[in-house]
């Protein structure tokens, strides 16, 4: 009697500065002097592509990084400042062939028309490997950069006022993504005729107004960018509780969650699936990835010692929303298989020190998972949606017209 082989896991890497540990920039492998160069990011993404990873995400924000949740800090011993994630992804795209590129966009202060055009352009530049990670911000100092709205100051997310604010911001993010998705569809796939002999470049009947009228946005459309190669580039979001789980269920292709054990993973997946059904998307593929911060070395003792050294440099123990793993690639493979038993279809790994831990992921973890028949041996699709087993969706307006 033959048994069904275990499913392949999906793997992504989250890139943030020199790594996710706040003292990562002080490690020998960190290259902090190169942080604001294209070559630095190109090297990291090339390493991830070497490991056949599905995609990388690129962190971004609208204010300086801060150790405080909702306010800026005055620390000078941390990496501060970023390059624009969408522009970095566009610069890297021609240097890569297979890996998906998923920059972070902040819906709270960014117009969906601009984002739809930027990610559609990235999809063209990368020939079908673009996505976005939608994020909100509740920081008053970031709102002050734009001057179009005020965000009330809250001291934490536990108070009723903070919960109400977060609910509004996530509802806005859901509408933001809905507008972006409709704009991607506002050109039918064959709207461009490009017939020099007849002088017809486009078929105007195949460009559609989206006429979105909602609580937060009023957008007529159509886009000025033709429909992206993937039709709908990948939409992803990080979620920690019911309100953002609902955003994932309503609008995302991939949701990132932060379980610390298999039971918690199972409970989160169950909740997201219930929200997915309530949103009328039960038949659609929605991947749920577990996030982990990883420190990989030749032995668990070495990894734990390195974490201790980094903590000492930082002046305090490192804490994260995600589980922090310190050990070997084989031990991490064991943990990923265990957590996958909770219903996760993949993982987004956050290298504690990008220059050290990313090569360990691509050169040690991936071969270990391949030996276990839990990861691909080669790229098998030409698009990011293809890597994840997602079909190219039909255009909603073309279908309605038909």
The annotation places the binding site for FMN at: 60, 104
Residues of each annotated binding site: 60, 104
Give the sign of the dihedral formed by CA 60, CA 66, CA 68, CA 70.
Answer: negative
102 vs 254: CA distance, rounded Å: 11
98 vs 315: CA distance, rounded Å: 40
What is the secondary structure of 281-336 as a DSSP string? -TTS--EEEEEEEEEE-SSHHHHHHHHHHHHHHHTS----SSEEEEE-HHHHHHHH
Q: Are 92 and 55 in contact (CB under 8 A)?
A: no
Q: Are 96 and 45 in contact (CB under 8 A)?
A: yes
133 vs 60: CA distance, rounded Å: 10
**Strands 55-58 and 10-15, how do they pair?**
parallel
Task: Please state whether 81 falls in left (phi above 0), alpha (psi between -120 and 50) or beta.
Answer: left
Nearest-5° Cα angle at 24, 21 to 28: 155
Phi first, then psi, for residue 325 (nearest 5°) are -110, 130
């Amino acid at each position: 009697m033959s048994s069904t082989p275990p499913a392949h896991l999906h793997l992504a890497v989250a890139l943030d500065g020199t790594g996710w540990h706040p003292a990562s920039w002080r490690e020998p492998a960190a290259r902090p002097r190169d942080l604001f160069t294209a070559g630095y990011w190109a090297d990291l993404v090339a390493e991830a592509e070497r490991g056949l990873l599905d995609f990388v995400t690129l962190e971004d924000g609208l204010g300086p990084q801060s150790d405080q949740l909702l306010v800026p800090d005055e620390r000078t011993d941390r990496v501060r400042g970023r390059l624009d994630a969408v522009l970095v992804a566009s610069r890297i795209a021609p240097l890569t062939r297979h890996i998906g590129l998923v920059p972070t966009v902040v819906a709270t202060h960014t117009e969906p028309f601009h984002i739809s055009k930027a990610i559609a352009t990235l999809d063209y530049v990368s020939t079908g490997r673009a996505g976005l990670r939608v994020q909100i911000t509740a920081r008053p100092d970031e709102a002050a950069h734009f001057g179009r709205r005020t965000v009330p100051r809250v001291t934490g997310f536990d108070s009723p006022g903070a919960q109400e604010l977060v609910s509004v911001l996530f509802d806005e993010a859901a509408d933001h993504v809905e507008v972006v998705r409709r704009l991607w569809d506002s050109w039918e796939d064959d709207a461009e005729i490009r017939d020099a002999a007849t002088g017809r470049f486009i078929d105007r009947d195949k460009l559609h107004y989206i006429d979105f009228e909602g609580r937060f946005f009023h957008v007529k459309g159509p886009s000025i960018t033709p429909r992206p190669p993937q039709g709908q580039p990948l939409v992803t979001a990080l979620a920690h509780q019911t309100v953002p789980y609902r955003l994932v269920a309503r609008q995302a292709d991939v949701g990132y969650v932060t379980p610390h054990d298999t039971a918690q993973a199972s409970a989160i997946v169950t909740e997201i699936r219930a929200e997915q059904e309530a949103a009328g998307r039960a038949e659609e593929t929605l991947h749920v990835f577990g996030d982990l911060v990883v420190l990989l070395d030749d032995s668990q003792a070495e990894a734990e010692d390195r974490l201790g050294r980094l903590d000492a440099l930082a002046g305090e123990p490192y804490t994260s929303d995600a589980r922090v793993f310190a050990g070997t690639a084989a031990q991490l493979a064991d943990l990923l298989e265990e957590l996958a038993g909770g219903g996760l279809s993949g993982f987004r790994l956050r290298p504690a020190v990008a220059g050290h831990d990313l090569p360990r992921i691509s050169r040690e973890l991936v071969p270990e998972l391949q030996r276990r028949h839990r990861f691909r041996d080669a790229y098998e699709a030409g698009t990011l949606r293809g890597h994840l087993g997602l079909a190219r969706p039909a255009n909603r307006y073309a279908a309605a017209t038909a």
